[in-house]
Chains A and B, each alone.
Chain A
Amino acid sequence: MSRTIVMSLNKISKHFGPLLANNAIDLELAEGEVLALLGENGAGQTTLMNILFGHYVADEGSVTVFDQELPPGKPRAAIEAGVGMVHQHFTLADNLTVLENIILGTEPLWGVTQHMRAALAKLDRLSQEFGLTVDPKAQVKDLSVGEMQRVEILKALYRNARILIMDEPTAVLTPPEVESLFATLRQLLKRGLAVVFISHKLAEVMAISDRVAVLRNGKVVLQAETTQTSREALAEAMVGREIPEPKRTPQEAGEILLSLDQVTVFGTQHKRLLDQANLTLRAGEIVGIAGVSGHGQAQLADLLSGLQKPDEGRLTLRGAGEIIPKPSTMIRYGIGRIVEDRIGLGLIGDMTITENLASESYRDKKFSNFGFLRFNVLKEHARQLIEDFDVRCPGVAAQVRKLSGGNMQKLILARVLSKKPIVILAHQPTWGLDVGATAYVHSQLLEARQRGAGVLLISEDLDELLQLCDRIQVIYHGRLSESLDPENISLQELGLLMSGHQTTAPKAA
């Protein structure tokens, strides 16, 4: 069988400051195939695709599509050459309709009118052909995540894309939605399109791809036919080294530290974002919350962070009784909060490491006196913490914005864990971190459990949950399931629960 090469990347290199994000990358894509681009977060695959698509300009190298070299830095040229991209974070405007989102940029800007009827007809035909149904008149903000992704794919098809690049397309989908996405992809391939599928989930890569390329530290370290390789080989290529993952040792849970009793949180239009959620957290255990993103995890995290008050129900804390969540209250009662949005919420990027490490305790007698901050004490405190938690930084006076993601997370861990909190909220604590940093976060959480803290771990990474948690509860449309025993539940069963199916999985004791 002869392969028709539709796209090739030639010796692409790209620096961001001192970081070499792409290092002389060569790749080829053939008609009718799925090329999986596998790599950890930050291995360089997103940068590479942004170069291909003209969002970034490469320092060196070129992109050829259908035997034509693309001019650098021109998204329009990539689109016209037949490249479509489905971004990990959807590029849709919430307040515009589906149709408006799709036709933007397809007609000459200076046209006097838009050819709405023709556009609708074309969209209709595409929807039918590929089984991608979505209401073109609906506003994007009213769509489900799966529907939004369909709009993104339709957007590319509407522009007659022959090459589709999908960046982590399954991250936000429920298992059935993933199945339907794969069905769509097979339809596309049948019609001769080619797909680049960026992922770090091995199972999916094995399931959908024809060929696979593994990126590590900005370099292609392995290229193979999918059938000729194995999960183990790919995993090793991806990580490059063995990182011992900390192990959870059995341990009796203690008294109840925190409980949520029938907690409901309303969103706009009286939507129940948390729906009569019940949860108890005991000393010395890690309770995991599994679920597809957007099902109430954010509200649960905000509740424990003190940013959200329950509209109904009660939040009770050992030694304090029922409390009304406020950030200062949570800090006072010793709740350690590790949030998902590190730079937007957890840290103040424009302030120094010293100042960030003090942000939850600057009013303590130890750190301030008659309204004046004791800078020497603060600095010493910061120096001690960055040493204890191995934060790599130029110094305690450095701006936090300039740290890497892993070091930012270590900074948050330092601030939170150094106060020996009795309850710890960890929301996506390893999101976007490399393997080493992930292992470090895991060992810190286990250590806190060991000394008797209760940890609530909200994560979308099922492997992480199964590895760390004593109990797991699944969240779906704001409802929390019964506690499940991670030893006795399979990934498949969790997946079904996460998409709203009831199972007969064994309950935790």
Chain B
Amino acid sequence: MRLEPRDHVSLAMAIAGPILAVLAAMAICSLLILWSGSSITEAYVLLFKGALGSRFAISETLTRTTVLILTGLAAAVAFRAKLWNIGGEGQLYMGACAATMLGTGFLEWSPYLLVPTLFLAGALAGGLLLLVPTLLKTHLKVDEVVTTLLLNFIILLLVNYLVFGPWKDPMAMGWPQAAPIIDQGLLPILLAKTRLHAGFLVALASAFGIWVLMRFTVWGYEIRAVGANPEAARFAGVPVNRTIIRTALISGGLAGMAGVCELIGLKGYLTLDLSPGFGYTGIVVAMLAGLHPLGVILSAFFVAVVFNGADSMSRALSVSNYIAEVITAVSLLTVLVSMLLTRYRIRWK
């Protein structure tokens, strides 16, 4: 078996690739549904109904899309520069911590000032957290994959300590959670009687902003150059380390903003289950989108559909909602293959 590069990749192929991959993933996962004794069509119908079947369901799906757009962008930006940031989960919690620190009464400003401040603080906290492994990478050549992964565990234990210890809300009847964000610090709801909050707009704006950054600016050019070939970039005079550090601040900042979004848009107070792995799922979102910032919106929506749909499907059928994670994991792998097949053709001899 050999791989032969294609001379030309048509736009249709580039778009059809990920769609076919996702369909293939769902086909593969229907084996699991079959195994559980449920009907495949019923399961998928329930899944899509659960995610998109009503106004409320759609709003819930968009709410989940919000945070996934931000963590997806965090991964997409970093991976473009070949900075393997797998620490989105930790950065998300750091962002939430920063917002908790300032937003639970420390600052009592008007919403127009406080909300942006919380986002900024969260972004800064997430960015600074990623800065540590990044500096270790640029200055001491420490592989960032493992360090960012390990930092996730450290940060989660830190949050554990905070919500069980100094930040524990005495009014929460013993639950391990921090004090609630004051009203001025909360994001407004976009749709009445739903939980869809203004963070959704922040996420869309971020995606657009990152697209502009990557496509049209000097910084974006530098990030792409460093990712494509760091030696050649350095040779051409691109400040490679500075670019990687800048990328880290942007990527960590986006993940931190994701944490702020969940905190001040949805939950209202910091707990240990603020994120069921949104940081990790962001990696899948980014890969499904081929690291394209605008594609991230679509892939985040798709993943949100799968997760929300699987939740409601599992309530109706005897299929565990872990099926959602299986579907996204399989999608990641099938999309990888589809991207390969759009660039190469396989010769069997």
State the A residues within 8 Å of B (CB). 17-18, 57, 73, 305-307, 327-328, 330-331, 337, 339, 344-351, 355, 359-360, 362-363, 368, 371-373, 375, 402
List chain B residues, Cβ under 8 A from A330.
237
List chain A residues, Cβ under 8 A from B2.
57
Among B216, B217, B232, point to the contact of A345 (Cβ < 8 A). B232
A305, A306, A347, A359, most chain B CB atoms within 10 A: A359
List chain A residues, Cβ under 8 A from B229.
344, 348-350
User: Is the pair B216, A372 in contact by a Cβ cutoff of 8 Å?
Assistant: yes
- A sample of 30 inter-chain contacts (CB < 8 A) reads A18-B7, A57-B2, A73-B349, A306-B235, A307-B234, A328-B239, A330-B237, A331-B237, A339-B235, A344-B232, A345-B232, A346-B232, A346-B235, A348-B225, A348-B233, A349-B228, A349-B229, A350-B228, A350-B229, A351-B224, A359-B232, A359-B233, A359-B236, A359-B238, A362-B221, A371-B217, A371-B218, A371-B219, A372-B216, A375-B216
Among B216, B225, B231, B237, point to the contact of A344 (Cβ < 8 A). B231
Give bound CA distance, A327 to B233, whole Å: 10
Query: Which 10 pairs across A and B sit closest by C-beta, in order of nearness?
Result: A359-B236, A328-B237, A350-B228, A327-B237, A348-B229, A348-B232, A331-B237, A348-B228, A345-B235, A371-B218
Give bound CA distance, A348 to B219, whole Å: 16
User: Is the pair B218, A372 in contact by a Cβ cutoff of 8 Å?
Assistant: yes
Give bound CA distance, A53 to B42, whole Å: 56
List chain B residues, Cβ under 8 A from A306.
235, 237
Give bound CA distance, A375 to B349, whole Å: 44
List chain B residues, Cβ under 8 A from A339.
235
Residue of B with least CB distance to A18:
B7
Nearest CB of chain A from residue B215's CB, rounded to whole Å? 9
User: Is the pair A305, B235 in contact by a Cβ cutoff of 8 Å?
Assistant: yes
List chain B residues, Cβ under 8 A from A371.
217-219
Residue interface bits B215-254, CB-to-A below 8 A is 1, else 0: 0111101001100110111111111000000000000000
Give bound CA distance, A447 to B239, whole Å: 32
User: Is the pair A327, B235 in contact by a Cβ cutoff of 8 Å?
Assistant: yes
User: Is the pair B232, A347 in contact by a Cβ cutoff of 8 Å?
Assistant: yes
List chain B residues, Cβ under 8 A from A18.
7
Give bound CA distance, A160 to B301, whole Å: 63
Among B7, B221, B224, B237, point to the contact of A360 (Cβ < 8 A). B237
List chain B residues, Cβ under 8 A from A307.
234-235
- Interface size (B, Cβ < 8 Å)? 22
List chain B residues, Cβ under 8 A from A347.
232
Nearest CB of chain B from residue A329's CB, rounded to whole Å? 9
User: Is the pair A351, B237 in contact by a Cβ cutoff of 8 Å?
Assistant: no
Residue of A with least CB distance to B212:
A372
User: Is the pair A351, B225 in contact by a Cβ cutoff of 8 Å?
Assistant: yes
Give bound CA distance, A302 to B80, whole Å: 27
Residue of A with least CB distance to B238:
A359
User: Is the pair A373, B216 in contact by a Cβ cutoff of 8 Å?
Assistant: yes
Give bound CA distance, A355 to B238, whole Å: 13
Among A351, A360, A363, point to the contact of B218 (Cβ < 8 A). A363
List chain A residues, Cβ under 8 A from B218.
362-363, 368, 371-373
Residue of A with least CB distance to B7:
A17
Give bound CA distance, A350 to B228, whole Å: 6
User: Is the pair B217, A373 in contact by a Cβ cutoff of 8 Å?
Assistant: yes
List chain B residues, Cβ under 8 A from A328.
237, 239
User: Is the pair A402, B217 in contact by a Cβ cutoff of 8 Å?
Assistant: no
Give bound CA distance, A339 to B229, whole Å: 15
Residue interface bits B41-53, CB-to-A below 8 A is 1, else 0: 0000000000000
A351 and B216 in contact, given A359-B238, A362-B221 (Cβ under 8 angstroms): no
Give bound CA distance, A298 to B349, whole Å: 40
User: Is the pair B236, A327 in contact by a Cβ cutoff of 8 Å?
Assistant: yes
List chain B residues, Cβ under 8 A from A346.
232, 235
Nearest CB of chain A from residue B208's CB, rounded to whole Å? 15
Nearest CB of chain B from residue A299's CB, rounded to whole Å? 15
Nearest CB of chain B from residue A305's CB, rounded to whole Å? 6
Residue of A with least CB distance to B220:
A373
User: Is the pair A360, B236 in contact by a Cβ cutoff of 8 Å?
Assistant: yes
Not counting A17-B5, A359-B237, a sample of 8 additional A-B residue pairs whose C-beta atoms are within 8 angstroms of each other reads A57-B2, A306-B237, A327-B236, A348-B228, A348-B229, A350-B229, A355-B225, A372-B216
Give bound CA distance, A200 to B218, whole Å: 45
Give bound CA distance, A373 to B231, whole Å: 22
List chain A residues, Cβ under 8 A from B234.
307, 327
List chain A residues, Cβ under 8 A from B216.
372-373, 375
Residue of A with least CB distance to B226:
A348
Give bound CA distance, A360 to B237, whole Å: 6
List chain A residues, Cβ under 8 A from B237.
306, 327-328, 330-331, 359-360
Give bound CA distance, A18 to B235, whole Å: 32
Among B7, B219, B228, B231, point to the contact of A351 (Cβ < 8 A). B228
Give bound CA distance, A337 to B234, whole Å: 13
Residue of B with least CB distance to A374:
B216
Nearest CB of chain A from residue B242's CB, rounded to whole Å? 11
Give bound CA distance, A350 to B226, whole Å: 11
Residue of B with least CB distance to A72:
B349
List chain A residues, Cβ under 8 A from B236.
327, 331, 348, 359-360
Give bound CA distance, A349 to B217, whole Å: 20
Residue of B with least CB distance to A327:
B237
Give bound CA distance, A362 to B243, whole Å: 15
Residue of A with least CB distance to B233:
A348
User: Is the pair B231, A345 in contact by a Cβ cutoff of 8 Å?
Assistant: yes
B216, B218, B349, most chain A CB atoms within 10 A: B218
Nearest CB of chain B from residue A458's CB, rounded to whole Å? 16
List chain A residues, Cβ under 8 A from B231.
344-345
Give bound CA distance, A72 to B225, whole Å: 40
Give bound CA distance, A348 to B236, whole Å: 10
User: Is the pair B235, A372 in contact by a Cβ cutoff of 8 Å?
Assistant: no
Nearest CB of chain B from residue A383's CB, rounded to whole Å? 19
List chain A residues, Cβ under 8 A from B219.
371
User: Is the pair A355, B221 in contact by a Cβ cutoff of 8 Å?
Assistant: yes
List chain B residues, Cβ under 8 A from A57.
2, 349
- Would you list which residues of chain B between 328 and 346 have a CB under 8 Å from chain A? none
Residue of A with least CB distance to B349:
A57
Nearest CB of chain A from residue B292's CB, rounded to whole Å? 15
Residue of A with least CB distance to B347:
A57
Give bound CA distance, A57 to B4, whole Å: 13
Give bound CA distance, A393 to B271, whole Å: 57
List chain A residues, Cβ under 8 A from B221.
355, 362, 373
Residue of A with least CB distance to B235:
A345
